[in-house]
Amino acid sequence: MTRWLSARRLDTLCGQQRHQARLVHIVLILMAVYFAFIGTLNVVIFKDYNLAAMDYVGLVTACGLLGYFRHSANLKLTAWLVVISIALIMLYFVHQTGGLAYSVMWVTLLPPIAFFLLGRQSGALVCAAVFIYVGIFFYMSLPDMPAVQPSTGSLFNILEILLAHWLLFRLYERSRSEAYSELERLSVTDKLTDLYNRSHLDDLLQQEITRHHRSGQALTLVLCDIDHFKQINDKYGHLTGDVILRELARLLKGNMRGTDYCGRWGGEEFLIICPDTPANAATAIISKLQQSIKEADMTEHIRVTLSFGIATLQHGESADDQLRRADSALYEAKRLGRDRMIIAEAAVSV
Ligand SMILES: Nc1nc2c(ncn2[C@@H]2O[C@H](COP(=O)(O)OP(=O)(O)OP(=O)(O)O)[C@@H](O)[C@H]2O)c(=O)[nH]1
């Protein structure tokens, strides 16, 4: 839904703005499609060239605003221009038809559009201005207005208005739920590596410990740390360091089983949570990972190795204790020369 703005421009918009950007886009597309369709009907079937001219002005306005938005990504100005254009077109339509054929009902579409695109305060302001104007116009024209007779035209207008309301709310709801899912994803993801972030790993670990208490299956943690990463950063620069982190994240993901969770624990540290896995099965996964890191052609052909600390949950142990043992095992792997894995010993109870 957001592919129409370039990724660079989209990055400048935060969650709520992305949602609004989608809505601006949806409203403009709907406007363009509607005016193209209804303009053609007015020319071909109803032969009402005045209304058709207005429809084509609406079509050109919608396309122009769409082009402007894609080019500038100026959300605030585009939203205002969209709402003002729609309000003007509605007012013109009310004038043109003298308020007949239920044209005034079109104005009921303004509040959802104005509120969605401009927010509560500005939306209310625009709606109040338009409603007061339409009210005065209606009041002034009332003496000359013939009684409204139900006609095909008026029925057609009412159906269109109801359909437009339904469509707007449906699309709004879809866009809102997409924005919500995106926010949810971002809240558990590390931006650089696209792996789970630390706070989500904490939650997952708690969840898996609870599951372990019910099922009794082994739960193993693997803490891994890139060897001599500072040297890589110092020699090739931080940006290259970031590329290495992303490449390693991809390899980690690629070598995990579907039931494992993998995330970024800290700067150059990763944590893998392996449910239903004893330590020896975890070592097999790590050997496979080490092999694919060895075979991978990393950026600038940099040779990268990792050290691993493995800890399987002991009876009555907490998440913190298990992590502490995995960390000690990792420390031991570093001390013994790096590029290796060490299985933590069970905690000694006193
Ligand atoms: N490029 C990049 N570097 C990071 C990031 N987070 C942490 N680092 C770097 O990771 C390096 C960690 O260095 P150290 O803790 O000294 O560890 P090391 O050089 O890997 O040495 P050992 O762990 O003992 O093998 C530091 O230079 C940090 O700046 C990051 O997001 N991007």
Query: pLDDT tens digits, residue range 185-213?
Result: 999 999 999 999 999 999 999 999 999 99
Within this chain, do residues 220 and 120 fall inside the same structural domain, yes or no?
A: no
349 found inside a domain: no
Q: Per-residue pLDDT for 291 more than 50?
A: yes
Task: State the number of CA atoms in the 13 A half-sphere of 44 facing the CB.
Answer: 6
pLDDT tier at 14, thresholds 50, 70, 90: low
Pocket lining: 339 vs ligand 1, CB cutoff 6 Å = no
138 found inside a domain: yes
Centre a 10 Å sphere on the Cβ of residue 15 and count the other Cβ atoms it contains.
13
How much helix, strand and coil, in percent to the nearest 5, is found in the chain? 70, 10, 25
Pocket lining: 226 vs ligand 1, CB cutoff 6 Å = yes
Within this chain, do residues 297 and 316 fall inside the same structural domain, yes or no?
A: yes
The mean pLDDT value for 57-80 works out to 92
pLDDT tier at 255, thresholds 50, 70, 90: very high
Q: Which long-range contacts (CB under 8 A, 24 or more apart) does 314-317 make?
A: 314/346, 314/347, 317/347
- The more confident residue out of 7 and 127 is 127
Residue 268 annotated in active site: yes
Instruction: Give the separation between CA 278 and CA 220, rounded to whole angstroms.
Output: 6
Residue 289 · residue 245 · CB < 8 Å: no
Predicted local confidence at residue 9, as pLDDT? 58
pLDDT tier at 147, thresholds 50, 70, 90: low
* Ligand 1 centroid distance, CA of 206 (Å): 27
Within this chain, do residues 151 and 207 fall inside the same structural domain, yes or no?
A: no
Q: Which of 256, 253, 254, 259 is nearest to 207 (CA)?
A: 259
Within this chain, do residues 213 and 280 fall inside the same structural domain, yes or no?
A: yes
Within this chain, do residues 208 and 121 fall inside the same structural domain, yes or no?
A: no
Candidates 230, 307, 332: which one to mutate for ligand 1, based on the most atoms within 8 Å of Cβ? 230
Within this chain, do residues 152 and 219 fall inside the same structural domain, yes or no?
A: no
* Ligand 1 centroid distance, CA of 233 (Å): 7
- The more confident residue out of 143 and 73 is 73
ipTM beyond cut 0.95:
yes
Mean predicted lDDT score pLDDT of the chain = 89
pTM: 0.73
State the DSSP code for 14: -
pLDDT tier at 15, thresholds 50, 70, 90: low
Angle at 327 between CA 342 and CA 247, to 5 degrees: 80
Domain count, the chain: 2
36 found inside a domain: yes
Predicted local confidence at residue 138, as pLDDT? 77
Instruction: Give the separation between CA 170 and CA 34, rounded to whole angstroms.
Output: 17
Predicted local confidence at residue 349, as pLDDT? 45
1 found inside a domain: no
Predicted local confidence at residue 174, as pLDDT? 86
Pocket lining: 317 vs ligand 1, CB cutoff 6 Å = no
Pocket lining: 338 vs ligand 1, CB cutoff 6 Å = yes
Q: Per-residue pLDDT for 55 more than 80?
A: yes
pLDDT tier at 159, thresholds 50, 70, 90: confident
Within this chain, do residues 152 and 282 fall inside the same structural domain, yes or no?
A: no
Predicted local confidence at residue 340, as pLDDT? 97
Within this chain, do residues 272 and 232 fall inside the same structural domain, yes or no?
A: yes
Residue 275 · residue 212 · CB < 8 Å: yes
Within this chain, do residues 155 and 221 fall inside the same structural domain, yes or no?
A: no
Pocket lining: 247 vs ligand 1, CB cutoff 6 Å = no
Within this chain, do residues 83 and 210 fall inside the same structural domain, yes or no?
A: no
The mean pLDDT value for 154-183 works out to 84
Q: Of the ranges 5-19, 56-70, 143-157, 333-347, which one carries the lowest mean pLDDT score? A: 5-19
Q: Of the ranges 7-16, 93-102, 103-112, 272-281, which one carries the lowest mean pLDDT score? A: 7-16
Longest dimension (CA), the chain: 98
pLDDT tier at 11, thresholds 50, 70, 90: low
Predicted local confidence at residue 350, as pLDDT? 39
Predicted local confidence at residue 101, as pLDDT? 59
Say what percent of the chain tops pLDDT 70: 91
Last residue of a domain, one of 134, 166, 187: 187
72 found inside a domain: yes
The mean pLDDT value for 39-65 works out to 91
Instruction: Give the separation between CA 144 and CA 61, rounded to whole angstroms.
Output: 33
Determine the structural domain holding residue 238 and report its residue range.
Answer: 198-343
Predicted local confidence at residue 1, as pLDDT? 43
Instruction: Give the separation between CA 166 and CA 170, rounded to whole angstroms.
Output: 6
Last residue of a domain, one of 168, 187, 206: 187
Return all residues near 82 (Cβ < 8 A) that are at least 6 apart. Answer: 24, 27, 28, 31, 65, 113, 117
Predicted local confidence at residue 347, as pLDDT? 60
Within this chain, do residues 42 and 93 fall inside the same structural domain, yes or no?
A: yes
- pLDDT by residue (tens digit) across 111-128? 999 998 898 899 999 999
- What CATH number is associated with residue 271? 3.30.70.270
Say what percent of the chain tops pLDDT 90: 61
Residue 315 · residue 349 · CB < 8 Å: no
Candidates 268, 298, 303, 339: which one to mutate for ligand 1, based on the most atoms within 8 Å of Cβ? 268
243 found inside a domain: yes
Residue 333 · residue 342 · CB < 8 Å: yes
Within this chain, do residues 244 and 168 fall inside the same structural domain, yes or no?
A: no
193 found inside a domain: no
Q: Per-residue pLDDT for 63 more than 60?
A: yes
Predicted local confidence at residue 2, as pLDDT? 45
